[in-house]
Every structure is written in structure tokens, then in C-alpha cells.
Amino acid sequence: MTARPGPARPVTTDRPAPARSDAPRSASTRSDAPRSASTRSDAARPDAVRSDAVGSDAVRSAGPSGGSGQERGPGLEEAERVELTVDAVAPGGHCVARVDGQVVFVRHALPGERVVAEVTELHRGFARADAVEIVEAAPERVTPPCPYARPGGCGGCDLQHVAPAAQLGWKRAVVREQLTRLGGLTDAEIDALRVTVEPLPGGPLGWRSRVRYAVDAAGRAGLLKHRSHEVVPIDRCLIAHPAIQQLPVLGRHWPTADAVEAVASTGGDVVVTALADGVRTRVDLSGPPPAVDVPGGPVVAEADIAGGPVVVEADLPGRPTAQVDGPVGSAAVEVDGSVAVREVAAGRDWTLPAGGFWQVHPAAADTLVDAVLDLLAPQPGESAWDLYGGAGLFAAALAGRVGPDARVTMVESAAEAVAAARRNLADLPRVEVVAARVETALARRRVTGPVDLVVLDPPRTGAGAAVVRDMIAASPRAIAYVACDPAAFARDVRTFARAGWRLAALRGFDLFPMTQHVELIGLFLPPSR
């Protein structure tokens, strides 16, 4: 696992067609997967039609292709409102529409809906907009459970207006579109994969175990607007883990903090961290407001709100940790000068810094490990690589399958993750942890083939052509590719295909319910198989 958005805030991170039971309706010319109108000529092309409305609240009306033939108006303006028909889903939690031939990416909408959209951004060749009024609703539309999941509100949850089952279809459609447009796969090839997006246990709310709250100039904690640094003060985040929702973070005043992070681990630890001037400070929320001296002044939280004991710890350069209290449910553990949390996954306990990377859904780690092992089917004695290995989750799982006499090599560049991996894998002497960038380790032969199996879990940018080429040169029998961005994954699919490798299986997982994000695991096989 490589470093993807770590103690996560649900803002950036961290994204349908009614003809199918699992997907909302699509107005695309393809019934199974819409193609983005920004790049494909076969997407629906509503032509703008000028209405007779006048005044500051005038709403322009855009009808479907072949509309009334009225004279088209000039280009869109920021804050302008226009009534339009929404077409296909697009990456990023948007749907596609057109006004006067201009592409508009609309949030808070569903394919097939008629909406009034307010333009929020103008770019060369396209615009962004929010659906501020629903004229004709799709059957998959629901009332968002969170009052902040609305235009102008929190930007973290892209799909709260979509029924949970239909969210899976939405994400499946995006994956399919990316495999077609960027991966170069044909409809028949994608059909053969039978791609689905599988839900994780626990439902769409209360799953996020790592949340980063932004702090505004007034010291109020909240979440960020979509594509903005503006903080939306909130009183609760419904996708946050229940233990995080119970913390009095949002009721306190944080006059010197830039952000506040909260973690609720699968091992039962609950910790809160304030960040100020690049310094991370653990905060005790159980008693009087703390004041910990850091460069630039003390970090303080002002309020008298009762809460369970958490932990206070100053993680300052060159200074030892000052442990004051223990996290809820367990004794505090100190690792490398920082309080750590315990995670439980793949039949093992994992100890890592609370600020380090770990999957934010409590069921994600086990789900991904099970899927990788199922696809690769490791055999005793086989050698394996775990590239972008993070804290060593996949390396440990592979070692358990290939046996004590087989070699497993893990490559990771983040120093904190390398230290965590070496600590957590100390009981597996045949697992080697290589501290290096993956592309460097392969190019300079710090890891050498031949190798039987590879697990590849790159950052959002994907593996890239050089890494794919060097992996293939090691002649593995199979590669399991764990991807958090369908576009980057699709580009790498094309690179594999040029080398004669094929995408033999693909599974999607809804690790981030209510958001547009989807996790993929693909199995790549060489030409000989």
C-alpha cells in the first residue's frame, strides 16, 4: 500500500443508467457506459435555446439535440443559471451536459434529469456547474442524509443524492468509460471482464476512520468546499466513524491550528492531532483546553466539553514525546517518538504512527488482501514482489501463502512507512524491505528477477510506462494491480497491452461510499497465459 491521502479528510480526497438495476439512467448513446462529452463525439449534445426570461434571475433553457432552433445566445458566464438536461456520468462526481455546444460538468445531478444549474467555474472549452434546482428528478435520486452535502456546502461527498445501490452503478460506468477512452479496450473486452463494484460491509455512513478537519481564520473546524480552500463549519460528519463523531473536535475553538486530524483505528485507538506551522501535536480533549508550546506559539483548543480521554503528545523536531494520557480503549503506544495506533488486518496486528497511511474504511485492508490473494493464487515456494508496499500489508499476506522458504521483496520510499514495515514484519525473516522509489529500485536492479508474482499498489498517478516495462522484464507469471484512480489504471492498461499482456480480471470495490472514488484490482497475465 502506498501513501495515498493519509489521515484522511473526507474533502479531497479522500471519486448511472436506469436500464440496469444497479446503475442510474444514462442518456448516452451507449446503454452500458457513458463516454464523456468533453472528449467523445457520441455523447449527447443538447443545444442551448434562449428563453424569454430577463433580469438578474433569468434562467437560460437548454434543450436536447435538435431543439427549437431559436437563436443561440453567447457563452456562459460565471454564476449564470441555465436549465438543461443532464447526460452521462463523468469522472470526479460530475455528469455531462451541453449548453450552446459548450461542455458543462454538473455536480449534484443524475443522468436523465432536467435541472437548473448554476455555473461555478469557466475554463477553456468547458464549464463547471452545480444543480441548484431539480426540475425533473431521476428515480435514483434520494434526499442526502447530510445537510452539508449540497451546492455550496461540504465538498467531500459527491454522491449523497444518489441511492446507495445506484452509486455502485455510477462508479462502474466511470470505470468502463475510462477503460474505453484511456485504456483502449473494446466493448467486447470490457464485457468479458464482467466488472462490478462491490460494497463493503457496514453501510454508506459511519465508515471513515481517518478525518482531517480544516480550521478557518476564526478557529472553527470544518470541511472544505468542492475545489476550494474555503472552510464550511459543520457540527457533524455523517461518514466519519462513530468514535470520531463522538469527539468534541467540532465544538471547540482552535485559534492557532491549521487543521485537526482524528483517527479511530481497527485496534480500538482514538487519537486527535492538531497541526500548526507544520508541527503535529496530539491533543487531550478530556479536560481543560491544552496548550502545547510549538514554534510560532501554543496550539490550544478552547472550550469545556466533556469527552473520553484521548491523548496529548507533542511531536516536535529534536524533542522527545511527552505522553500525558492514553487513547480510548487501550494504553498509548510510542513508536519512533510518536504515539502509534494499532490496526488489525490480514490476521495480524499492525502498529504504525497515527499520521501514517492506512486504508480509511475499516473493512478495506482485509477486503483488498483477500481479493489480491484470490486473483494471484500464490503457491508454496513462489517468489513475490510487493511494490509501493507501505507498511507491508500485502508482503505479509504473500509471505503467509508462499511459505517460510520463499522470498518476498517489498519496495517503499516513504521513510515512515519503511520503518513501520520493518517493525511489523520482523517475524518474517524471508521478507526483505527495500527503502527506495520503485522506479529507481527496478531500473538500478536493487530488486532483480525472475519473480513469480507481483503486487503493484501505486499512488494516484499510476505506475507509468517505465515501471510496467521493468516489471514485465522480470517475467512474473501474474501481476495484481491495486488502483485508486480509474484513469491512471486505464492508461497503464494500454501500456500492458502494448507489451502483449492482457487484463484477465478486474474487480471494483466501494471503499469510499457517498464519494465518487472507487478502488480497482486488476489481474494482468503475460502472452503465454
Binding residues for S-adenosyl-L-methionine, by number, are 359, 388, 412, 457
CA distance 482 to 261: 26
- Crossing angle of helices 486-498 and 164-181, in 10° steps, is 40
Amino acid in the structure at residue 130 = D
Examine the residue annotation and report whether 484 is marked as an active-site residue of this protein: yes
Binding residues: 359, 388, 412, 457
Bridging pattern class, strands 59-62 and 81-85: parallel
User: What element of type H or E holds 214?
Assistant: strand 210-215
CA distance 503 to 511: 22
Nearest CA among 166, 48, 33 for reference residue 90:
33
Which are the contacts of 309, defined by CB distance < 8 A and separation ≥ 6?
Answer: 284, 286, 325, 326, 327, 328
Task: Give DSSP secondary structure letters for 52-102.
Answer: S--STT-EEEE--SS---PPP-----TT-EEEEE---EETTTEEEEEETTE
- Number of C-alpha atoms within 13 angstroms, CB side, residue 529? 14
Amino acid in the structure at residue 356 = G
Compute the Cα dihedral for 466, 469, 473, 475 and give only its sign.
positive
CA distance 323 to 319: 12
Q: Which of 154, 157, 237, 484 is catalytic?
A: 484
CA distance 309 to 522: 43
Whether 307 and 247 have beta carbons less than 8 Å apart is answered as: yes
User: What element of type H or E holds 494?
Assistant: helix 486-498
CA distance 83 to 135: 8
- For 36, the grid coordinates are 464523456
Q: How far, CA to CA in Å, does 103 sit from each of 39, 41, 59, 73, 289?
A: 10, 11, 18, 15, 51
Query: Residue 447, exposed/middle/buried by CB under 10 A (0-12, 13-18, 19+)?
Result: buried
Task: Give DSSP secondary structure letters for 368-395.
Answer: HHHHHHHHH---TT--EEEET-TTTHHH
Nearest CA among 80, 94, 79, 82 for reference residue 37:
94
φ, ψ at 304 (rounded to 5°): -115, 85
Active site residues: 484
